[in-house]
Amino acid sequence: MTVRVAAVDLGAASGRVMTGVVGPGRLEMAEVARFANVPVQVGQTLHWDVLGIYRSVAQGLREAGLIDSIGIDSWAVDYGLLDADGRLLGNPVHYRDARTDGVMERVLREVPPAELYALTGLQLLPFNTVFQLVAARGTAQFAAAETMLLMPDLIAYWLTGEIGAERTNASTTQLLDVASGQWAAGLAERLGIDARMLPPLREPGDRIGLWEGTPVIAVGSHDTASAVVGVPASGDRFGYISCGTWSLVGLELDGPILTEDSRKAGFTNEAGVDGTVRYLRNVTGLWLLQECQREWGIDDLTSLLREAARVPVLRAVIDPNDPVFLPPGDMPARIRQACHDAGQTPAETVRCILDSLALAHQSTLADAQRLSGREVDVVHMVGGGARNDLLCQATADACGLPVLAGPAEATALGNILVQARALGAIDGGLDQMRSLIRATHPLRRFEPQGSTAPWREAAARLHLSG
């Protein structure tokens, strides 16, 4: 049996519609539409242009031609609110908006961090959905809201008319009980959030409804959940880095790690496909480089990387997770300031960013192994970062482990494979899906070079754990 499906993959900077053909020994993918995802500043609030996103998705699906199903994934935490008539109450707010400044600290005075972590298993990040909702309390829009839909669920609702919340993305809200897998209604009510606005949960592989006669199927709708499906690993002794705007660095486990050490180390336990747990830490990723390129007006990354490769390793490093790097703006200036105002050429800044990301990758994987008791033999780098040879080699050197790079389109592949399995074109679980990727998509291997000692010393200077 061979099927042809469409994967809608929405990223924080762009979206695209991909088609995938899946059959015995066959996994092919093609991009049919790509569109910019540009936030809109209105007054003091940064919004997503969700109507523009939906228009581009629908156009892309029509350009895809004859397909057997549709799956949608996107970034996490952001949402739209619907009124009693099912109408959107306003453009969703961007997670980088300043409305959540100080909100997490206020919530943690009501619900102690250890209690919140034990219940949700989630890394405390100021833009998590729960903090966004608390920030919205008291507004007319919040008072009128009947339903909260995360971004991929909102697009699916507009396509099919069906309301629901796919579990892998719901697990990023900090409103899902990690033990029961159900909404933490008591926590929501305690924080002034009407638990009735949390929609029914659905699983990857569930049929949502129809769009113009074509089934829409739930996939791992958090893009990292789909990306981890697309990690072409063999066995369980692997670490993964899904590297794009963010680097999601961690392990795939059978159950959550809810120890106090895990909480203090900033690890999250997010739901994965087939009942797995994505045990990971969010690391600021290529956002730093993207913002620098925007500030410099330089689109040619190839030349920048070639020049950066000539800069001595570890000449300057920063902590990429420093909150100073979270908002948009003059990123090169903030990096220079973090390096004590040392003069930096663009090439030196790029080298600083990539070495710093490699350090963060190493420290996160070391912590994940220590906290989980799971050792790894290889690191899989997927996403846009898998195309960046300098970053892949630096990560191998810092970790002292081989890095297998690719596929860059792991998220779309994971989306496609979950649909194909739901349609009956694939039998089995994650191992079978990943073996098909290995058989059809070449990987590049980066062996560690030199000692890890300089990397560990640099991490210690930055007070990175690991």
Contact 257, 371 (CB under 8 A): yes
> What is the DSSP annotation of 368-428?
HHHHH----SEEEEESGGGG-HHHHHHHHHHHTS-EEE--TTHHHHHHHHHHHHHHTS--S
Q: Return the closest-CA partner of residue 231 out of 393, 386, 11.
A: 386
- Tokens found for residue 458: 């640099």
Q: Return the closest-CA partner of residue 226 out of 165, 270, 282.
A: 270
Contact 117, 266 (CB under 8 A): no
What does the alpha-carbon distance between residue 76 and residue 385 come to, in Å, rounded to a whole number?
Answer: 19
Q: Could you give the maximum distance between any two Cα atoms of the chain, in Å?
A: 62
Using alpha carbons only, how large is the chain's radius of gyration in Å? 21
Is 223 annotated as catalytic? yes
229 HSE (CA, 13 A, CB side): 32
Q: Return the closest-CA partner of residue 285 out of 363, 385, 366.
A: 385
- CA torsion 82-116-286-91 (nearest 10°) is 10
Q: Which of 223, 319, 355, 367 is catalytic?
A: 223
Active-site residue set:
223
